[in-house]
Amino acid sequence: MSIIGLTGGIGMGKTTVGAMLRRLGAWIFDADAVVHRLQAPGGRALPAIRRLVPDAVRDGRLDRVALRRAVVADPALFRALEAIIHPMVFDECRRFLRAARRAHRPMVVLDIPLLYEAGMDRLCDRVIAVSAPCAVQRARVLARGHMTPAQVDAIIARQMDDRQRRARADHVIYTGLSRALTWRQVHAVVALVRREQERGRR
């Protein structure tokens, strides 16, 4: 089984690349979806988040806007939140990999925005970094309509620099030009993985 890490900063186009990899047959571990489940009513992370940021949990539900506002303003608080969430995501990822092996899946993708920051790249055989020009990145995030420019800039500044991410990755997929070009890049990586698997079976 080939384990591919997929990472990229906010607004880089990682969701698009993940959807393309799914179309090509990969099983996807979606860390963002896991985090949403952990933070949902009754989720494992909610009690610890309530203790950390009491105003962010009301009537058993997470106020994501209040949580984002709190952690963007306080880097130490953000690190404390990561210390709660990252081990739980790691546990869910290991369960996913066990299930994929039992199902004899040939290729899985760990779609994790903070792959390197969380140290989860060590689970991967190779890593894809998704990248786009800074202006494209900011425009995409602002178009979502739930963050101010200052909040977007704070999140980008807190994440690993795009150049560092690209330098560490085995493959870089650029999403700033056209969907067709992105698709060709994704297809080329998957074709390479499949050729290597075929050589390994000989």
Asked whether residue 42 is marked as a ligand-binding residue, the answer is no
This prediction's pTM: 0.88
Is the pLDDT reported for residue 175 higher than 70? yes
Residue 67 DSSP class: H
Residue type, position 5, single letter? G
**Mean pLDDT, residues 84-107 taken together:** 94
Structural domains present in the chain: 2-41+90-196 (3.40.50.300)
Q: Is residue 71 pLDDT above 90, yes or no?
A: no
**Predicted pLDDT at 158:** 80
How far is 34 from 5, CA to CA, in rounded Å?
16
pLDDT digits (tens, 9 = 90+) for 25-70: 999 999 999 999 999 999 999 999 999 989 889 888 998 888 888 8
Return d(Cα 54, Cα 75) in angstroms, integer.
Answer: 17
What is the pLDDT, as a whole number, of residue 202? 66
Q: Tell me: the pLDDT tens digits for 109-161?
A: 999 998 998 899 999 999 999 999 999 999 999 988 777 888 888 888 888 99
On whether 14 is known to bind a ligand per the annotation, the reply is yes
- pLDDT the model gives residue 59: 85
For all residues of the chain together, what is the average pLDDT?
A: 91
- What is the C-alpha separation between 82 and 179, in angstroms, rounded? 32
Rounded-to-10 torsion of CA 160, 162, 168, 169? 120
Q: Give the rounded percent of residues in the chain with a pLDDT score beyond 70.
A: 99
User: Which residue, 106, 99, 113, is CA-closest to 31?
Assistant: 113
Q: Given the DSSP bridges, would you call strands 171-174 and 57-58 parallel, antiparallel or unpaired?
A: unpaired
Annotated ligand binding at 8? The verdict is no
The reply, when asked if residue 11 is annotated as ligand binding, is yes
In this prediction, residue 144 carries a pLDDT of 87
**Range name among 138-152, 168-182, 185-199 with the lowest pLDDT average:** 138-152
